[in-house]
A and B are shown apart, each in its own frame.
Chain A
Amino acid sequence: MNQVWDWDAAWAVLPELLMAFVHVTLIVTVASTAIAAVLGLLIAILRMSVPKPVAVVINFIGDFIRMTPIVVQLLFAYWTFLNVEPLTIGIAVFGIHYSTYMAEVYRAGIESVPKGQWEATTALSMSKTRTWTAVIVPQAVRATVPALGNYAISMFKDTPFLLSIGVVEMVRAGLTFGGNNFRYMEAITLAGVIFLLASYPTSLLISRLEKRLAYNY
């Protein structure tokens, strides 16, 4: 009972961890990444299209979200919207929090599109909407895919913060198992291993993408 590692406990906790991984960690990561990717792009475009004072306000809100810890935001949202599912709150908070980072990435991507591309859209009398959707965004996004992927991984690793609002994600599932069986070591170690096994191949994929996506103007 006092040995450092107990394989029986490890095998017992593994299914619970995997269930939590699939039902919470993965869902939050995918849903929040989607929200952050879309919202971040909207913020980036909005900031470049609105009058300066409005852009300053948007920037301030973005800075505020980025400069405060995600746990504080989770708890704040949790206690503000008491009748909303904690999982939903988690997805929304992660999505919004990371959208402010992704907006920065998109901004850099948009700025990396050569001026000549904008001038060509003017010379062809293209509408603002077509200019953004057909020319600027496709080129800007291509350049930002790797950075966006890295933020997705970073969000994935932040999901244990959800335990602060009672969502049973992987680490919470492990702690619950530990509390019931007095075996914490196996649960926490395995949770770490699952995180590693999921994020490492993803990061390799991203660095391969990075090499394939760059335009040579």
Chain B
Amino acid sequence: MPTTTDSETAPESGAPATAPAIRFQDVEKRFGDNVVLKDLNFEVSKGDRVTLIGPSGSGKTTILRLVMTLEKATGGYIHINGEPLTHELRGGKRVERSEKAQKQIRKRIGMVFQQFNLFPNMTVLENIIEAPVHVLGQSKEQATRRAMELLESVGLPNKAKAHPLQLSGGQQQRVAIARALAMDPEILLLDEVTSALDPEIVGEVLAILRRIADTTDITMLIVTHEMQFARDVSNRVLMFDGGRIVEEATPDVMFTEPKHERTQAFLHAVLGGQEGQIGTH
């Protein structure tokens, strides 16, 4: 873990061991005139599982995309383990960091997408070992061994040679999870990972994610409409509306006694008035 010298960007970066995994500091994101996120401040501690909920268009997915550097913030700073991600404050000015520096940080972050985004021109195994071999520099044998373990753990040990498009949506998403884990990420971003799946196979994907949450200390930032899953897996829930956090609580509190009326209305709409029935496992 390299220590940053430009301590003005993050006062706590002198002690990176205690720095939060993710820190948003006055983050603004606008697309043209459309302000999606405004003055956003929040932190995710290492090992935390944080779920972002809220109506569509509230900016939840944009937050994940900012952390993955698929989008760049138009204002403010994002720190990963105390290190600035895309922009830093240098000489009183907000400047973009070098592509090399961004890449170093990006390597520790993994993402699973709503649409899986597996490479259709590669086999399942090739999808999983591509980055470990070519980005992390692992040997092909080493990467393959790990890939087979991961395929085993997502219940697809005999699909290594299959091509993604020969698999069902649920199977593809399980491969995508294995592909993200093969990079041993410190932070895992889950962007509506079950939204493109048939209802009857949502469970198999969520079960795998629950197990990852139980057996690893990966920091997770989750956007989902599966409130039961959010409740089971996360230890913090942030309710978003109009690009701002309107409420923050533990899942137990958020799903049973939400304070903000916006949260109450949202939960009422998604749970269809069954708030009382969502329980812990």
Contacts and interface: CB of A to CB of B under 8 A. Distances in A.
A and B are interacting partners: yes
Interface of A: 114, 116-117, 119-120, 122-127, 130, 134-135, 138-139, 142, 215-217
B118 A120 contact: yes
Nearest to B180: A123
A135 B130 CA distance: 10
A120 B117 CA distance: 6
Contacts of A134: 119, 122, 130, 134
B115 A116 contact: yes
B78 to A, nearest CB: 15
Contacts of A139: 119-121
Contacts of A135: 119, 121
A215 to B, nearest CB: 5
B110 interface: yes
20 contacts: A114-B115, A116-B113, A117-B119, A119-B70, A119-B113, A120-B117, A120-B119, A122-B106, A123-B109, A123-B111, A123-B117, A123-B180, A124-B135, A125-B103, A126-B134, A130-B130, A130-B134, A138-B121, A139-B119, A139-B120
Nearest to A138: B121
B69 interface: yes
B86 to A, nearest CB: 12
Contact of B130 (A117, A126, A138, A217): A126
Nearest to B131: A124
B146 interface: no
Measured as residues with beta carbon below 8 angstroms from the partner, the interface class of chain B is: 20 to 34
B200 to A, nearest CB: 22
B107 interface: yes
Contacts, number: 63
Contacts of B135: 124-127, 130
A131 to B, nearest CB: 10
Interface string B97-127: 0000001001101110101011111100000
Given A142-B121, A215-B120, A125 B115 contact: no
Given A123-B117, A130-B134, 4 more contacts: A117-B119, A119-B70, A124-B135, A217-B165
A124 B130 contact: yes
Contact of A117 (B110, B111, B117, B179): B117
A139 B135 CA distance: 21
B68 interface: yes
Contacts of B107: 125
Contacts of A116: 113, 115, 117
A5 to B, nearest CB: 53
B121 A127 contact: no
